[in-house]
Structure 1
Amino acid sequence: MALIIQWLLRIAGGLVILAVLAVSLVYFLASRSLPEYEKTLVTPAVLSPLEIVRDNANVPHILGQTDQDVFFGLGYAHAQDRLWQMITLRRTAQGRLSEIFGSATVDIDKLLRRLDMYTLAQQSVSAQDAATTAALRAYANGVNTRIDEINASSLGRGAPELFMFSQPIAPWQPADSLAVQKLMALQLAGHLQDEILRARTSLALRDEKRLADILPDAPGAGVAALPEYAQLVPGAQRYAVTQPAPTHPLSPVARRGLAGASNAWAAARDRSASGGTLLANDPHLGLSAPSVWYLARLELSSGGVIGGTIPGIPAILVGRSDALGWGLTSAYLDDQDLFIEELNPNNPEEYRTPDGYKPFATRKSIIQIKDENPITITLRWTDNGPVLPGTHYDIASITPTGHVAALGWTALSPADTSTSAAVRIMGAQSVEQALKAAEIYISPAQNLTVADRDTIALKVVGAMPRRDSRSQSRGRLPSLGWRSENRWQGMFPYASNPAFVAPVGGIVGNTNNKVVERPFPLHVSFEWGDSQRVQRWQRLMQGRQVHTRDSFVEAQLDTVSFSARSLLPLIGADLWFTGEAAPEGTRERQRYRALSLLSEWNGEMNEHLPEPLLYAAWLRALQDRLIRDDLGPLADEYTHLEPLFVERVFRDVDGASIWCDVAQSAPVETCTDMARLALDDALIWVEERYGSQLESLRWGDAHQATHDHQVLGDVPLLRFFVNIRQSTSGGDNTLQRGRTSGKGDNPFQNVHAAGYRGVYDFADPDSSVFVISTGQSGHFLSRYYDDMAQLWRRGEYIPMSLDADLARAAAVGVTRILPPQN
């Protein structure tokens, strides 16, 4: 017996030693790819000495003597910290994910091949201006120099993920950067999904008039520039400044409700306490680890610029220079249409046009799949755009037999100069120059908010399709592609895009809300991303005569829900303080406790409070009860609360209270009945997941920010190292937006939020601040992988300075890149 125990101990000890050795080996191999920031590199790819000074937040300050060298430095820095992210984005755009990930990503590859985005990016290279072409080439040289360095010095293949997914790394090309930019357009696009859902809902409803309830139009004339403060506050005087004061995680297709969003606002000098213009911007995208954003500073011939970049693209997309600040929000311009194309019954390789049947433009494309045989698909294009099969976007559910669907989209341009516009904006020295630079911007459509030292402005930038005034669907539903009145008639001139320059009221901004009311086809869009946050924004902006950097920060971090404040009195009007006392332990008693908590709540979606969870669960259950009997399984597509729908129902706008009656039941249910039943549903759901002690609930337990690694995030054990989870405040309709997933067992997880926040004060530009949601590094063993995550969660920022000496004073490393000695 003793001998057996002895051998068991030896075996156990041996296994422990082997495990320790295996872990040590994995750690050694993974740590080899950690970049070294303090070093000197000699390469013929630079023209003159170049420095990459990394400040104490690991933000690279790239200091060179020529713009080409500076863009080289940005490419090198991106590849040091985010190589895996970059090559994954490139593979996604190319439709080549399945070569690494197998059959799990075949559908993604099929879609990207059919959109032909990479081919279009290659064709767009020749359309760029000379400065951008030089920037693209220099940036690619920087990326490739890092790849060569990795290969020559055996630096762990450049990223830990590349040990698990061993594939050769092709050299970076200028087209790769343009492909990443097009991929971002796909991530921000949402009109196609809206068209299809509107069509499916229209087909499902017994009374099509009810379509205006569940998919309501944004009310009002639009908000972009606010009126003078003096008009709103009697007796208020204009402030006179006397002296300035100091789906698959890798899928680029967003589900409905999770496409682009953002906030941006600016204040003129007479609305600023410091006497300088102010600008705040926080673009919203899907959360991930690492973040989509990467902070950088470039010292260009036009001056220093600092802000947020996207690895793969050689430009500061949001940020500031000494002279100018610029921010972006999704414009929701309707730049997508789905066309139903009729096939020739005698030849399915032809489709109907206004002039008769015409052959599809076709091309074969082979998709290589890891561990499986390759598949060949046929790409087909019509005059209106690429044909998408019925398996994509639920297109089959709305496509008649003998027809196919084609997508018209401005991003499918073979001469896309959006990257040139981004490079030009970096060099702009005034609002006027920035707006001029944006004229060649095509997609994705954005609201460009800009501020120089004297002026503020907001303009919708991006190509706006010119639709015929006789269009059958006006772009709201899929339309018949062979009818000439449904086809696009080119693009409107840039001057047609809405603009608000130097408004009298001194404030401009956007929360993805409706910006303008104009007749079709100059309408811009019928679908907008927000009707709620803008209400709170208007109140905060007009609640004070002058603003400061701190008041703009406060607005960015505001967590009060206008939706909660407006809807709870409506749906609870007949429930609060009514009925008889209920014994402890009964359902009625629990309902009473919930209503008591909500009656004293101010609508603040604070992570430490129970009320936000009760409110969110109640409204989610209520909307589902209102629509489930009418829409059936289609109700699952309405994953998020539509506040305007609930308001229409409970105010009985145009008979909308009919939604409260369950059509399949004999009794006639009232809206009060539905509110009561939904509250009980919500309480049962909450109790099953978080317990019955309502006062002890925390919104943050349900509203966790999910910064998950897109590939390793589901790997057992490893996920604890690569995923970043945080309790967060905010919600779907707060300025500090934390858009919930809307699906699964955790429908309130925060999956879409501000990955970048920046606030710029031009009275003292170096007092400007910014932050991203994770850290600069994409390497999970780096201390810079998640070092900004807690700052982001707490609403803290880091300085945004163009002072090179300050960067050097606390540098964590300086990389010197030198040309060879003659």
Structure 2
Amino acid sequence: MAVDMVGGLGFRGWPRAARVATYVAAGLVVLLIGMLLTAVHLVRQPFPQTTGEIEVPGLTGRVEVVRDDAGIPQVYADSVDDLMRAQGYVHAQERFFEMDVRRHATAGRLAEMFGSAALESDEYVRTMGWRRVAEQELALVSPETRAALTAYADGVNAYLDTHTPSEIAVEYTVLNAGGLGYEPEPWTPVDSLAWLKAMAWDLRGNMTDEIDRVLALAGHSAREVAQLYPPYDYDAHRPIVGQGAVVDGVFEQDATAPGTRNPRRPAYTADMRGALARLRAGLQDLPPLLGHGDGLGSNSWVVSGDHTDTGGPLLANDPHLGVSVPGVWMQMGLHCREVTEDCPLDVAGFTFSGVPGVIIGHNRDIAWGFTNLGPDVSDLYLEKVEGSRWRYDGRWRPLRTRTETIKVHGGDDVTLTIRSTAHGPLLSDVADDVAEAGEDPPGVPPGEYAVALQWTALQPSTTADAVLGIDAATDWDEFRAAAASFAVPAQNLVYADREGHIGYQAPGLVPIRKSGNDGLLPAAGWKPENDWTGDYVPFDGLPSVLDPDDGFVVTANQAVTGPDYPYFLTDDWDRGYRAQRIRDLIQRQLDGDGTVSAGDMLAMQLDDLNPMAAELVPYLLDVDLPHGYYSAGQWQLRHWDFHQGADSAGAAYFNAVWRNLLALTFHDDLPADIWPAGGDRWYAVVTELLHDPESAWWDDKLTPDLDETRDDILRQALLDARDELTRRQALDSDHWTWGHLHRLDLHHPSLGESGIGPVEWLVNRDGWEVGGGSSTVDATAWDAADGYDVVSAPSMRMVVSPADWDASRWINLTGVSGHPFDQHYTDQTDLYVDGRTLPWPFTQDAVSDAAADVLTLEPAPAAD
């Protein structure tokens, strides 16, 4: 006779209420299990197929996708068309939602997916016309590039055609559960080109500095503001190509050479400053696609085989970009099974999902790395606007206008009227219509001011040609020929090849300005002498060097050339701390062991010496503090080696002091929008102020009865930092750690700040404690105006060995996958935080030996 049992007790003998409760509990368990299984299914459903066979329309031959233990795909095919089609398919497998959000961002269509919260971003992007420029570029690129873009798009669409939104990404499941009802559109070549505009925007140079200088002028003299932007110290921090680049071609005319400009600036009225402040706030709220802020930059260097243990060059690169999950890069290899003139690709490295080709990496002959050159390629113009006209050269001229409609999920469509002068679109229209002037500059009739943007990225160019050209280059001459097409963003390119050559090339469009405009402040748009000439620094005039006498080249966003260089690039360089530290480390290694190894290069990338500590700590130790509680922090500084490991108590205290020092010194003097972020420029500023203990900057304007000096501020910063670390960490200073303050949180760019706990839990990954800091070689930057969390970091690290490609190493900030809970979503992050790297197999034998999964893409049968 059957007996129902629950926990060993006879069920039928229970009271009825207990039986009912048990039924309900059992039902809830079944429901929860069902919900869990459903959730697991929904999360796992988009994971890519990595083994077996898939038919892909348009392929002309069999393609193999070989993935290693980290999920990194190496693609093998017999034609460029098949390689590009397969790359598009694999990118879509791993990262289509990221690609889709990127194309909506670059087209000014985020509001279609995310509602009115994204409207302002769309308005700025539409006003600048990123996609309109990309559409023009499609007609300019070479037929080969256009064919690659088309094949790539066909590969993406082959994936979309056979997958529903919930099978493509769990993010679509989340959005559609909220009522979006979204179906991805087919991918187009223009979608790929438009992403290059986002890349250029986040690396655009000194546009924000132009505004900040004007905002700082409120209540301060030009001399005082100049103290906040100290000149580059060429003696302490060597430029990339030394004190005088070798250039060929037509030299810039004397009227625009460095030191000859005599700009006459407008009187910046309160209304002008208001318009610029609103514009700055709006631009700051644009979603960073690569990242923004003082921490953006990169390290890259190359050492000749005369100085390495391999006898061949070694090349290192680690671009510093915003932190997110998935990370900016996806590792991949693209290999023609037989390299021929018709199929020249045998390349591997770091790719952008949504863009065909490899952006940074190496092929069978050459290796290359990028850092941001940072030239001044954008200018803001204050325009005199009256109705539908703008003032220029003593005459009123008609504004150019166009209208666009922005669709808004959950809201009404928005019609945007876009106005432009000859300089460019009026960004201030988005910020707050047109700012009315309260006081006019001399000789200008009453009216309204607007702010226009002139920027090289708004000129159609052929940067996409450069990407695929570099991928196929076999020597220095072919590399330079390809680089000549790289228009925006202007980059520092370092180079190495199998023949033993190393080099440096600066590509990009850099405008030549007339004598009235030095690019440091917004210019008066009504004066012709402030215009660009219409010419750009010729490619043969851009800095370049092959096989330098030093035997190595270091680029870390420092000045590229000395002050005698005949063209104006910018005055807003990174201050050179990272670059000089790398040079010192290389030279120290050569002086010691005589050679540099790949392991040495990897260790240099992790160097965490704080460049400000040696300057500031002696002043901090001279301050007299009460013995015991408050002097405990000074004890940590006294025993600190100035390195910023995650477990360092000295680094924790020093950075807390630094943040409080900046707040005490500058927050009373400057608008909140331009409070110090604390990076390299502020190191230079405070270094100078330390030698001027009575400077007005030290005085706290909020205490008018007191005249604070340097020592007063230093003392208060020490006290405040001690109290802060007690609250945040521990009473015992031995228990302080830098990593506890300095955390790496990886948030999903679109859903990671949704405010919905389960969604954020699904897509975000938080909590890594890291070392490094702003302007260290291990550049895990933080913003002192906001806190200690990492805001930008090395987005990847690589060391490449042309003597043996398979001896190269690489690591990504996150992982290959864009799918939450896929094993490759953040599987490289722990290695990255620990300072470790992965092997980088390149030759076919090495790739086969490392293979974990092989997927075969087969041509689909022709339709009847």
Question: 1:132 corresponds to which residue?
Answer: 145
Q: Return the match for 2:473 from 422, 428, 436.
A: 428
Q: Matched residue of 1:543: which SS?
A: helix
The alignment yields a C-alpha RMSD, in angstroms, of 2.4
Retained in 1: the 8 A contact 2:806–2:846? no
Deviations 1:522-558 (A, max 9, x none): 1311112343212311210111222111111111111
Question: 2:211 corresponds to which residue?
Answer: 196
Question: 1:558 corresponds to which residue?
Answer: 607
Q: 1:791 to 1:397 in 2, by over 3 A?
A: farther
Q: 1:656 to 1:486 in 2, by over 3 A?
A: farther
Retained in 2: the 8 A contact 1:249–1:710? no
Retained in 2: the 8 A contact 1:225–1:505? no
Retained in 1: the 8 A contact 2:351–2:359? yes
Retained in 2: the 8 A contact 1:384–1:407? yes
Q: Return the match for 1:622 from 636, 639, 661.
A: 661
How far, CA to CA, are the matches of 1:256 and 1:262 in structure 2?
Answer: 13
How far, CA to CA, are the matches of 1:493 and 1:132 in structure 2?
Answer: 23
> C-alpha displacement at 1:321, in angstroms?
1.3
Moved more, 725-734 or 1-10: 1-10
How far, CA to CA, are the matches of 1:687 and 1:502 in structure 2?
Answer: 53
Question: 2:362 corresponds to which residue?
Answer: 320
1:270 aligns with 2:270: no
Retained in 1: the 8 A contact 2:743–2:790? yes
Retained in 1: the 8 A contact 2:607–2:776? yes
Letter aligned with residue 774 of structure 2? D
Q: Matched residue of 2:675: which SS?
A: helix
How far, CA to CA, are the matches of 2:316 and 2:45 in structure 1?
Answer: 39
Matches within 5 A, 1:101-180: 101-151=114-164, 156-166=166-176, 167-180=182-195
Question: 1:410 corresponds to which residue?
Answer: 456
Retained in 2: the 8 A contact 1:535–1:562? no
Matches within 5 A, 1:678-757: 678-714=717-753, 715-725=756-766, 726-744=768-786, 747-757=787-797
5+ unaligned residues in a row in structure 1: which ranges?
228-246, 583-587
Retained in 2: the 8 A contact 1:770–1:799? yes
Q: Matched residue of 1:405: which SS?
A: strand
How far, CA to CA, are the matches of 2:175 and 2:199 in structure 1?
Answer: 24
1:597 aligns with 2:636: yes
> C-alpha displacement at 1:44, in angstroms?
3.4
Deviations 1:146-184 (A, max 9, x none): 111214xxx833010011223121111110000011111
Question: 2:247 corresponds to which residue?
Answer: none
Q: Return the match for 2:831 from 785, 791, 799.
A: 791
Q: 1:249 to 1:389 in 2, by over 3 A?
A: closer
Retained in 2: the 8 A contact 1:739–1:753? yes
Letter aligned with residue 535 of structure 1? Q
Q: Return the match for 1:515 from 543, 560, 565.
A: 560
Retained in 1: the 8 A contact 2:357–2:471? yes
Moved more, 689-698 or 128-137: 689-698
Q: 1:337 to 1:707 in 2, by over 3 A?
A: same
How far, CA to CA, are the matches of 1:71 and 1:644 in structure 2?
Answer: 47
Identity score, percent? 29
Retained in 1: the 8 A contact 2:677–2:785? no
> C-alpha displacement at 1:2, in angstroms?
6.5
How far, CA to CA, are the matches of 1:223 and 1:391 in structure 2?
Answer: 39
> C-alpha displacement at 1:280, in angstroms?
0.3
How far, CA to CA, are the matches of 2:572 and 2:850 in structure 1?
Answer: 47
Deviations 1:44-95 (A, max 9, x none): 3112221111122211111110111111111111000001000000000111
1:467 aligns with 2:513: yes
Question: 1:230 corresponds to which residue?
Answer: none
| TM score, norm. by length of structure 2 | 0.86
Matches within 5 A, 1:465-614: 465-468=511-514, 470-472=515-517, 474-490=518-534, 491-518=536-563, 522-545=567-590, 546-569=595-618, 571-572=619-620, 574-575=622-623, 578=624, 582=626, 588-614=627-653
Question: 2:230 corresponds to which residue?
Answer: 216
Matches within 5 A, 1:295-374: 295-300=331-336, 301-344=343-386, 348-354=387-393, 356-374=395-413
Deviations 1:240-272 (A, max 9, x none): xxxxxxx669444855424x3100000112122
Q: 1:297 to 1:460 in 2, by over 3 A?
A: same
Moved more, 390-399 or 692-701: 390-399
How far, CA to CA, are the matches of 2:434 and 2:225 in structure 1?
Answer: 19
How far, CA to CA, are the matches of 2:107 and 2:38 in structure 1?
Answer: 34
How far, CA to CA, are the matches of 2:826 and 2:168 in structure 1?
Answer: 19
5+ unaligned residues in a row in structure 2: which ranges?
1-13, 177-181, 244-283, 337-342, 440-446
How far, CA to CA, are the matches of 1:20 and 1:807 in structure 2?
Answer: 41
> C-alpha displacement at 1:315, in angstroms?
1.7
> C-alpha displacement at 1:209, in angstroms?
0.9
How far, CA to CA, are the matches of 2:364 and 2:491 in structure 1?
Answer: 23
1:257 aligns with 2:294: yes
Letter aligned with residue 104 of structure 2? R
Count, aligned residues: 778
Question: 1:241 corresponds to which residue?
Answer: none
How far, CA to CA, are the matches of 2:15 and 2:573 in structure 1?
Answer: 76
| TM score, norm. by length of structure 1 | 0.90
Deviations 1:544-577 (A, max 9, x none): 22211111111111111122222222x32522xx
Moved more, 299-308 or 399-408: 399-408
Retained in 2: the 8 A contact 1:264–1:327? yes
1:284 aligns with 2:284: no
Letter aligned with residue 530 of structure 2? N
Q: Matched residue of 1:590: which SS?
A: coil
> C-alpha displacement at 1:778, in angstroms?
0.5
Q: 1:171 to 1:633 in 2, by over 3 A?
A: closer
Question: 1:444 corresponds to which residue?
Answer: 489
> C-alpha displacement at 1:200, in angstroms?
0.6
> C-alpha displacement at 1:30, in angstroms?
2.7
How far, CA to CA, are the matches of 2:854 and 2:699 in structure 1?
Answer: 68
